[in-house]
Amino acid sequence: MGKHGKKDTLRKFSRRDFGKLVGLSLALPALGPSVLRGSGLMKNGDQVTSQRKRYTTKDLFTGSEVRTFTGNSLNEIAFPLGGIGAGNVSLGGRGNLRDWEIFNRPAKGRTLPYTFFAIWMKREGSQPLARVLEAERRPPYGPAFGLPTGEVSGLPRLKEARFRGEYPFAWIDFFDDDLPLDVSLEAFTLFIPLNSKDSSIPTAIFRWRLKNKARKSVQGTVVFSMANPIGIAKEGEKPGNCFANYFGSNLNQFVDESDLRGLVMSSKKHPSDDIRFGSVAIVTNHKDLTYTTHWVRTGWWDDIQQFWDDFSDDGLLKPLPDEGPTPEGRTDVGSLGLRFSLKPGESVDLPFILTWHFANRVNYWDPEPEVKGKGLKNYYASLWPDALAVAKYVVENLKVLEQDTRRFHDALFSSTLPGYVLDAVSSQASIVATNTCLRTDDGSFFAFEGCGDEGGCCPMNCTHVWNYEQAVAHLFPDLERSMRKTDFRVNTDEKGDMAFRTKLPVLLVRWKFRPAADGQMGTVMKLYRDWRFSGDREFLEDIWPQAKRALEYAWEYWDKDRNGVLEGEQHNTYDIEFLGWTTMTSGFYLGALRAGEEMARYLGDVESARKYREVFEKGRGRIEAELFNGEFYIQKYDPEKAKRYQYGAGCLSDQVLGQWFATVAGLGYLLDPSHVRKALSSVFKYNWRTDFSNHANVQRVYALNDEKGLVLCTWPKGGRPSLPFPYSDEVWTGIEYQVASHLIFEGFVKEGLSIVHGVRDRYDGGRRNPWNEVECGNHYARAMASWAVLLALSGFRWDGVPGYMEFAPRVNEKSFRSFYSTGGGWGQFRQRVNGEKLIAALIQHYGSQTINSLALAGIPRHPKKAVVTKNGLGISNTVESVRDKTTIQFSLGVTLNTGDELRISV
Amino acid sequence: MGKHGKKDTLRKFSRRDFGKLVGLSLALPALGPSVLRGSGLMKNGDQVTSQRKRYTTKDLFTGSEVRTFTGNSLNEIAFPLGGIGAGNVSLGGRGNLRDWEIFNRPAKGRTLPYTFFAIWMKREGSQPLARVLEAERRPPYGPAFGLPTGEVSGLPRLKEARFRGEYPFAWIDFFDDDLPLDVSLEAFTLFIPLNSKDSSIPTAIFRWRLKNKARKSVQGTVVFSMANPIGIAKEGEKPGNCFANYFGSNLNQFVDESDLRGLVMSSKKHPSDDIRFGSVAIVTNHKDLTYTTHWVRTGWWDDIQQFWDDFSDDGLLKPLPDEGPTPEGRTDVGSLGLRFSLKPGESVDLPFILTWHFANRVNYWDPEPEVKGKGLKNYYASLWPDALAVAKYVVENLKVLEQDTRRFHDALFSSTLPGYVLDAVSSQASIVATNTCLRTDDGSFFAFEGCGDEGGCCPMNCTHVWNYEQAVAHLFPDLERSMRKTDFRVNTDEKGDMAFRTKLPVLLVRWKFRPAADGQMGTVMKLYRDWRFSGDREFLEDIWPQAKRALEYAWEYWDKDRNGVLEGEQHNTYDIEFLGWTTMTSGFYLGALRAGEEMARYLGDVESARKYREVFEKGRGRIEAELFNGEFYIQKYDPEKAKRYQYGAGCLSDQVLGQWFATVAGLGYLLDPSHVRKALSSVFKYNWRTDFSNHANVQRVYALNDEKGLVLCTWPKGGRPSLPFPYSDEVWTGIEYQVASHLIFEGFVKEGLSIVHGVRDRYDGGRRNPWNEVECGNHYARAMASWAVLLALSGFRWDGVPGYMEFAPRVNEKSFRSFYSTGGGWGQFRQRVNGEKLIAALIQHYGSQTINSLALAGIPRHPKKAVVTKNGLGISNTVESVRDKTTIQFSLGVTLNTGDELRISV
C-alpha cells in the first residue's frame, strides 16, 4: 500500500462510489458520508452530557451526523471488533485495547499485558519523540498498587482523543501539540450483511493514518506490541504481566510471505483439543518493518524497560537472540513495527491486521450432566486451521471484504435518518458479533440472552428474549433461520411443547421447564417473518409440521376452550407467570394464529387456516371487549389466585408487542387499529419519563437521576398490586425500541424518536458504553429491536414470497435516504419529493433479489404511470394507487444485482 | 439528647472550649475551628481539579481551611471509620456506606445489601417525602445487570452533597430544594491519642442533623437499615442481597435498656471460635423509635419493596410477625427508625451508634505451615464479649470519649498550619485505624505494609517501611513501643540478625530472608526515638541487649572492616539489594551508631559508646569524601558486580533519609549540614516534577498526566543504569512527606510545602481517595511520614528523658497554633509575635507531662527573662538564649494536666 494520499482516497471512497452509481440528478444536499465530517475538537466533552430538557423538534429531527466523544465521554467506550461467533477485542475511547474476549467467553475488564500501539517519530533536525498511541488515562487513578504496569500506564501518551463510532467502523482522532503529525486510527471489523461467512472471521483491523503537518520531513515507526496470550481461557484469567500458570512454551515467530508479514503467536503447552489451544497473528502488507519476536525475559520490569528504551531511542527494534519457546509459567511479548517517512504534507496509512483462532469452546454454562463440560467447535475453525490461515484469507481478500463492509457502512450512514437513530440501529446490530452469540462448526447460530462480565448469561436461544430483536433477522437471515430450525426441530417435542432454551450440544438433553407463552407463540410469528423475508418455501415446508404442533399446543395448555385468549400460567419474558387474560401473551397468540393461517394456506392446509382464523377472530373479539379500558389494554385475573407478580390495571409497555411484531412481519392488524394507536399513545403518555429523580424502583436500575426512559409498567388509574411483576419499574432498551418503532409505525414519530434519543443519551460514553446496552447482561439481545426503528422510519418491508418491496419514509420524506436489506441483497433507497413529483432510486450494493412490485408512499395524487430505469434502461411497469400508497408492478420482475441502480420517477 | 439547638452546640463546642481555656488575650484572628466554616456549595466541584500551574506563595501559605468535595470529587472518597485493629466501614462521598472491612480483613468494594440511611418527612399540609439519605449516584452507571439493587440504586436520593473530612470527623451537607429540612451528617470514629484502648473500639458513630427551614412544622423518621452480616469473613464474600451460603440462623433482636435502644444482630450458625462468628449492634439513646427486626422473607424484591412502601407511606414501620432466626442460606435486614418533630426553625440531632465484634482473626497471609491458618484474637475481644457490650460501653462513656476525640480534632484543626497540611497530616494518621494494622488480645500492635483490596499486603511489621512513619510514634507511642519489642525481642536472633518481617502468632517461626540494611539500622534509630519520646528507662533497658546485637551485626555482615560504611548486599525498601556505598543505607547506619552511642552512654556502657562514635566518625568522613558530588550524594559500586537495580550517579530522594530520621529524633547532624541542605535542594531541583505527561515510567504509576510529584530518583548528570533499581521512576507519598518535612526542617519551607500540596492534589477525591494513599497497597504505612510535616512546621520536639520541649514554627510564626503531643499528653501550642515580644501558650487537652525546659524560637534579641504562668499562677524560671533559640528552664518542673494552660511571655 502506498504512502501518498491514501487517507483521502479511503475517506472519499464511499462518496465517489455513490456519485458513480447514482449520477448527479440524485446528488442530494451536502450530507456526505459521515466519515467526511469536520474535525473541530468538541470542548464540552469533559462533562457527561447534562440531561435536563425535553427534546425539541430540532433535537429530534435535525442532522444525520452521529455524535463524537471526548473527555469523560471516552471513559466507558468499548467498541467491539471481531466476527460473529468469534469473540471480540474492544477499542476503548482513548485508543486502548480492552475487554479481550477472544477466548470463547466474555471477559469484561481483561486487558492483555503490554499490548498496545506506540509511535516513534523524528522530525528532521529535532529530538525524537516516543508515545503510546492512546490518549492520556483518565481518573480515577487509585488502584491499591497504582495504575497497572501491564497497561504501560506510566508511559507518555497523546493529550486528547475524539472518538467516533459507526459500527462496524470506529475512528479516533488524536490531538497533541507536541507532535509534528496528525494521527488518527481507523479500526473496523468485517461485517457484511447476508455474508455470514465473512462476517464470522476472527479479525480486527487497525489502520493508523499519519499526516506530516510540519515543514520538515518526519520519519518514524508505529509499533504494535502484544503478549502472546495463548493459554488464557477461563474466568478470572486476567494476567497483569507475562507470568501465569497457564502460560508456557509460548512462541512468537516472524512470518514473511508474498503479501503478508508479521508475527504468529502459538504455544505447544496445550493439546489441540484443549480450550487453551490456539493462535494469534498480527500481520501487515506494509513492507518497511522493524520487529522483535520477544522481549528480554529477566526480572522486574526489565522487559518493558528495555523495549521502551530501545524503541524510543531510534524507532528500530534490536533483534534479540532466539531463546525458543518460553519456560513454564511465562509468555513473551512480540512487537511489530511499521516504518514511515513523510515529507511535509504527506500522509501514510499503516495497517495492522489482528487475527485469532481458538477453536475449542466448552459448555461452561449448563448444569445438566449430559451437556456440562461438553466441547463445541467454532464455525471459523471449520474454515481455517489457525490464525495465520485466517490472516492470509483476510489479506488476500481484503479489498473485497473491506469494500463490502464499507459499502454497508456507507449505505447505512449516508442516510437522512437522524444521527442518533443511525447510532441506535448500528451500535446494537453489533450484538450479533459479540460473545452473546456463537456459531458451531456446522455453521449453526446460537445465542445467550446477553453476557455477564465473565460468562454468557441465560443460555441459549431464549425464545421470548429473541422475540424482540430484528437486526439478525434482517441482516443475517440465514442465522435467524438457523435459530428457527433449533426452535422447532430440536426444542419442540411431539406434543408441541417448545423448550424455550437450548442445550448445547443439541439433542443430548432438553431444557425442562414450563413453556413460555410469549416465547412459543412469538416463535411461530418469527417463523412467518423469516419465511416471508427469505421467500424460502423449502424452509417453511421443512419446519411447518413442528410449527403447527407448537401453535396448536396452545389448545392443550393455555387455551383449552379455544376462545382465542391464553389462560392459566403464562410464563413470559418477565421471568414470572401471568395469570388470567393479558394482551402481552395473547397478542402473540393472535399473531401466531394469523401467521399459522397464512402459512397453512400457503402450504395448502386450508382446514387449519380456517380453524386458526376462527380462533383468532374469537380471541380478538374477547380481548377488545374485555381488556381495552378506553386508553389501554389491561390484565384481568383473579387476585386471590395470584397474590404476586401481575399487573392488573397497569399500563404495560409491552401491551401491543404481538401487534408490533405483526406489523414488522407484514401480518397487518391483530387488534382494532384505533385501539392500538390509543394504547401506544397511552404507553408514551404514562410510561415515558423525562426524569427519574423521584422514580422509586427497588428492582434493577437502568435509568436514574436526570435520565429519560420508558418504564415497563405504570398504574395511571391506580390499582398497582402491592407486589407487581418484577421488572415492572425497570427500563429496558429492547422494549423502548419496540415501543418507539411501533409508535413511529403508527405515526407518532416524535414520540418514538424521543424514546430512541432517550436511550442513546443514557449511553453517552460517560454514563455507559454506547456499544453495550445492558439488561440481564451485556450486549443484551433484546436491544437488537433497534433495527425496527430503521424499518419504521423508512417504512421498508420486503416480502420475498411475492417479491414485494415497500417504502414509506416517515422522516425527512422530501429528501430521504436509507439502508434496505432483503433476503438476497442490500443497498440504499433514496427518494426526493419535488412538488408533486417523486424521484426514487434503489442502489444495490450487495447481492441480488428480484422485485415484482414496489410500493412507494406519499404521492397523494394517485399517479397512473411511472418512469422506471435500471442502469439507464427503461423497465415496463404498471401503477396502482390505493390511498397514499403507489404500487409499481413489474410484470417481468426486476432483478437487481450488485452495482445495479433502479430509478423511479412518478 | 434533646432536640433544640444541638447542632450549634456541637459545632461550637470547640470554640467555646478554647475560649474558656485560652482567654481573650490569645484569641487569634478569625480562624475558628473548621467545623464552623461556611456552607456555600462549591460550583466547580463537577470537575476533577485541574492541575497545570506551579504553586504560588498564596497557594502554599494562605488559609488553614481544609478543602471540601462536591461533584466528581465525591466519587473516590471513602472515609474510614472504626478503631485501631478493629477494621472499618467507610463513609462515601455521597453519604453511602462502603468498603465494609469489619471482618478482620480488607474488602474494598464490599457493600452490605440494603444497608443505608433513609428519611421520611411530612411538612404539615403537604404530601410526605421519602428519600435515601445519600446524594444521587454518579456515573458510570453501566454494570452488566444494571446498578446494584442491594444498594437500593433505584430509590430517590438527595440532589447534591458537600463532603468535608477532618479525621476522625467527617461531615456531609446535603442539598435538595424539594426538602423542607436542612440535612447534614456528622460521622466520626473514636480516636484519642495516647488512649490506645478507647481508640481501638469497634465502632462508628453517625449523627444526623436536621433543621426545619419551612414555615410549617415537619415530622418524620430517619431510619437505618442494615443486613445482618454475620457469616461474612473471607475474600470475595460480597453479598448483593440476603442470600449466601455463609448466612443462616441470623437473628436480629430489639434491645431496650436504660439509656440504649436498638438492634443486635447475631447468628447461631457459626461456633464462637470461628472466623465467621460475631455480632453487630445499632443503637441510639434517642427515645422516640420505630423499628422492625426483619423484612419479609418472600422472593424477588418483595423485602425491599414492602419495606420501602411501608416506610414511605407514613414513616412508621409496621411490626412483622416473629419468624425466628433465618433459614439456611439467607439473612435478615433490620431497620431502626428515629422519629422527630420539628417546629419551624427547630433542629434535632439523631444519633446512631454502630458497633461490631468479630473476635477471631486467622493468619491467611503467611505460607509457613507453622503459622498458616493459625488463629489470633482481637484486642477488643479481650475487653468486651460482644457488640452489645461494646455499644453499652460507648453509650455509657460517650460524653468523655467524644469530648476527647473532638478535642484532638479541634487542637489539630484550629491551627494556623495550611489546610492542605492539616489534611495530609490527619488523613494519613487514619492508617493506624485501618486494616493495615491489627492488635492481638494482649494488646500488641502489628501491621502490614498496606492492604490489597481483599487482603493485607506484605506482612508484618516490615522494618524498612515502618522507618518512615511518625504518626503512630507520636500519637500512640505505646503501640510503637510494642513494635520495637517485637523487632528486638522476637525477630532479632542471638547473632543480631533481625528478621525484617514478623510471623504471627509470634515465636512459632522466624522470617527467613537476608536482613534489610535500612530496616535493621533504622530500627535501632526508632528505638532511640521511642525511648526519648517516652522517657522510659525500663523500656530501653529491657531491649538494649538485643538492640546492641542488632547494631553490631553490621560488623558481621555489612561493615566487617568497621569503616562506618555499609558494603555488600544491602537489601532495602526498594526490594532489591544495593551494592557498594550509598547514603540510603549507610545514613541509617550512621544514625544507628549515633543512637547506639547515646543509648549505651545513658546505660553506662561507655566503651560501646566510644566504639560506636569511632566508627560513626570514620563513616561520616568517608561518605563525605567519597559520595558527595558537590550537589548530592551518589552511590559508588562496581557495575561489573551489579548489572541491575542500582542507581549510581543518580540523585536519590531518600539519599539523606537517615539524616531526616536523626533530625526528627533529635540526634542532630550525621552529615555535613551544608551538604545535607545542598542534597535536599538538589532532590527538589531534580526530582520534583510539576507535570508527568512526558515522564516515561514502566514501573508502578502513582502520578501521571498533569499531576505533580517527587520521583524516587533521577540522573541529572547522566549515568542512569540501563536497568536502575525498580521503583526509581515511581512516586511514593511516604518519601514525598519525608523529603518535604526534611526540606522544611532545613528551611526550604516553600519547597517542602509544594511537595505536600502536590501529594494532596493527586488525592483530590476524583482521582484518588484522600483517605487512602496507596503504594504497595491501600492505607500504606509509609504515608504516615506525613506526621513529620507537622513536626517540621511547628519545630516541635519532645524529649521525655530530660523533660525537654521545643517549638520553632516555620510558617505563620507571628500568629501560630499547632497541635503537640508528648509521651504523656497532648494539646495545642500557640504563639503570637508582636514586635519583639513573643506570647506563647500551651493548652493541655489530654494527659500529663512534666516539662523541665521549653525552647522557643524566633526571638532574636536574646531575652534574659520570661513571665510564665500556669493557670494564672506564676512559675519561676531561668532563660538562656543561643542564636535564635530561647530556652526557659523550670527548676522545679512544670506538670501540665488536662485543662491546664501554661502561658509564656518573653
Residue B78 DSSP symbol: E
pLDDT of residue B43: 31
In the block, which residue shows the cell 408514551? A684
Residue A708 in this model has a pLDDT that exceeds 70: yes
Q: Let me know the angle formed at the C-alpha of A240 by A234 and A246, rounded to the nearest 5 degrees.
A: 40
Q: Which of A162-176, B19-33, B614-628, B836-850 has the least mean pLDDT?
A: B19-33
DSSP string, B190-244: ---TT-TTGGG--EEEEEEEEEE-SSS-EEEEEEEEEE--BTB-STT---SSSB-
> A545 vs A487, A604, B96, B396, CA distance in Å?
13, 13, 58, 80
Contacts of B305 in chain A (CB under 8 A): 698, 722-723
**What is the value of ipTM here, to two decimals?**
0.93
Whether the Cβ atoms of residue A109 and residue A92 lie closer than 8 Å to each other: no
The model's pLDDT over B194-241, given as tens digits with 9 standing for 90+, comes to 999 999 999 999 999 999 999 999 999 999 999 999 999 999 999 999
Give the contacts of B621 (CB within 8 A, at least 6 positions apart).
Answer: B564
H or E segment and range at residue A446: strand A445-447
CB contact under 8 A, B141 and A694: no
pLDDT of residue B506: 97
Q: Which of A409-413, A554-558, B52-56, B70-74 has the least mean pLDDT?
A: B52-56
Contacts of A160 in chain B (CB under 8 A): none
pLDDT of residue A669: 98
The model's pLDDT over A162-178, given as tens digits with 9 standing for 90+, comes to 999 999 999 999 999 99
Mean pLDDT of B102-129: 98
CA-nearest residue of chain B to A452?
B144
Other beta carbons within 10 angstroms of residue B173's beta carbon come to: 18
What counts of helices (H) and strands (E) characterise chain A? Answer: 17, 40
> B827 vs B18, B31, B854, B896, CA distance in Å?
11, 17, 15, 10
What counts of helices (H) and strands (E) characterise chain B? Answer: 17, 40
The model's pLDDT over A451-479, given as tens digits with 9 standing for 90+, comes to 999 999 999 999 999 999 999 999 999 99
Mean pLDDT of A274-301: 97
H or E segment and range at residue A618: helix A606-627
Residue A507 DSSP symbol: T
The amino acid occupying position B607 is E
Give B723→chain A minimum CA distance, Å.
Answer: 7
Residue A18 in this model has a pLDDT that exceeds 50: no
Which among B305, B767, B772 is the nearest to A698, CB-wise? B305
Q: Let me know the angle formed at the C-alpha of B545 by B544 and B551, rounded to the nearest 5 degrees.
A: 80
Q: Which of A59-63, A463-467, A813-817, B647-651 has the least mean pLDDT?
A: A59-63
Contacts of A700 in chain B (CB under 8 A): 145-147, 149, 154
Other beta carbons within 10 angstroms of residue B826's beta carbon come to: 25
CB contact under 8 A, B774 and A145: yes
Contacts of B302 in chain A (CB under 8 A): 644, 723
Mean pLDDT of B424-440: 98
Residue A44 in this model has a pLDDT that exceeds 90: no
Give A113→chain B minimum CA distance, Å.
Answer: 12
| A498 vs A575: CA distance, rounded Å | 16
The model's pLDDT over B354-365, given as tens digits with 9 standing for 90+, comes to 999 999 999 999
Burial of A278 (0-12, 13-18, 19+ CB in 10 A): buried
> A487 vs A461, A506, A557, A740, B813, CA distance in Å?
8, 11, 18, 28, 83
Residue A894 backbone dihedrals phi, psi, to 5 degrees: -125, 120
Mean pLDDT of B768-779: 98
Q: B740 forms bridges with which residues in the sheet?
A: none
Which among A76, A301, A699 is the nearest to B142, CB-wise? A76
pLDDT of residue A53: 67
Q: Let me know the angle formed at the C-alpha of B902 by B899 and B906, rounded to the nearest 5 degrees.
A: 160
pLDDT of residue B143: 93
CB contact under 8 A, B108 and A450: no
The amino acid occupying position A631 is E
The model's pLDDT over B157-204, given as tens digits with 9 standing for 90+, comes to 999 999 999 999 999 999 999 999 999 999 999 999 999 999 999 999
Contacts of A695 in chain B (CB under 8 A): 154, 156
pLDDT of residue B861: 81
Grid coordinates representing A516 are 413460555
Minimal CA–CA distance to B832: which of B136, B167, B23, B12? B23
pLDDT of residue A10: 32
Residue A344 in this model has a pLDDT that exceeds 60: yes
Minimal CA–CA distance to B630: which of B746, B716, B755? B716
CB contact under 8 A, B696 and A145: no
CB contact under 8 A, A722 and B309: yes
Length of chain A: 906
Q: Output Rg (C-alpha) for chain A, integer angstroms.
A: 28
Burial of A274 (0-12, 13-18, 19+ CB in 10 A): middle
pLDDT of residue B278: 98
Whether the Cβ atoms of residue A165 and residue A427 lie closer than 8 Å to each other: yes
Band of residue A123 on the pLDDT scale cut at 50, 70, 90: very high
CB contact under 8 A, B701 and A153: yes
CB contact under 8 A, B308 and A696: yes
Mean pLDDT of B754-765: 98
The SS3 of residue B863 is coil
Other beta carbons within 10 angstroms of residue B256's beta carbon come to: 9
Residue A202 in this model has a pLDDT that exceeds 70: yes
Task: Count Cβ–Cβ pairs < 8 Å, chain A vs chain B.
Answer: 205
CB contact under 8 A, B142 and A774: yes
Alpha-helical runs (H) found in A729-827? 733-745, 749-762, 787-794
pLDDT of residue A835: 86
| B298 vs A439: CA distance, rounded Å | 40
Residue A317 backbone dihedrals phi, psi, to 5 degrees: -100, 120
Burial of A388 (0-12, 13-18, 19+ CB in 10 A): buried
Average pLDDT, chain A: 93
pLDDT of residue B53: 66
Give B206→chain A minimum CA distance, Å.
Answer: 25
Contacts of A697 in chain B (CB under 8 A): 154-155
Average pLDDT, chain B: 93
pLDDT of residue A14: 36
Contacts of A132 in chain B (CB under 8 A): none
Minimal CA–CA distance to B421: which of B761, B887, B7? B761
Residue B290 backbone dihedrals phi, psi, to 5 degrees: -140, 140
A697, A707, A713, A722, best to mutate vs chain B, most B CBs in 10 Å: A697
Residue A371 DSSP symbol: T
Burial of A369 (0-12, 13-18, 19+ CB in 10 A): exposed
Residue A840 backbone dihedrals phi, psi, to 5 degrees: -130, 160
Whether the Cβ atoms of residue B209 and residue B347 lie closer than 8 Å to each other: yes
Band of residue A6 on the pLDDT scale cut at 50, 70, 90: very low
Query: Which phi-psi region, left, alpha or beta, contains residue A201 (left: φ > 0; alpha: ψ -120 to 50)?
Result: beta
Which among A149, A301, A704 is the nearest to B147, CB-wise? A704
pLDDT > 70: what percent of chain B? 94
Pairing, β A885-896 against β A878-882: antiparallel
H or E segment and range at residue B870: strand B867-870
B51, B141, B691, best to mutate vs chain A, most A CBs in 10 Å: B141
Q: In sequence order, what E strands does A176-249 have?
A: 181-188, 203-212, 218-227
Q: Output Rg (C-alpha) for chain B, integer angstroms.
A: 28
Residue A473 backbone dihedrals phi, psi, to 5 degrees: -55, -35
Q: A164 forms bridges with which residues in the sheet?
A: A171
| A147 vs A139: CA distance, rounded Å | 10
Band of residue A1 on the pLDDT scale cut at 50, 70, 90: very low
CB contact under 8 A, B147 and A701: yes
Whether the Cβ atoms of residue A590 and residue A670 lie closer than 8 Å to each other: yes
Band of residue B845 on the pLDDT scale cut at 50, 70, 90: very high
pLDDT of residue B63: 85
| B408 vs B474: CA distance, rounded Å | 13
pLDDT of residue B858: 83
Minimal CA–CA distance to A193: which of A900, A825, A850, A848? A825
| A741 vs A421: CA distance, rounded Å | 11
pLDDT of residue B142: 86
Whether the Cβ atoms of residue B251 and residue B265 lie closer than 8 Å to each other: yes
CA-nearest residue of chain B to A450?
B144
DSSP string, A376-425: EEBHHHHH-SSHHHHHHHHHHHHHHHHHHHHHHHHHHHSSSS-HHHHHHH
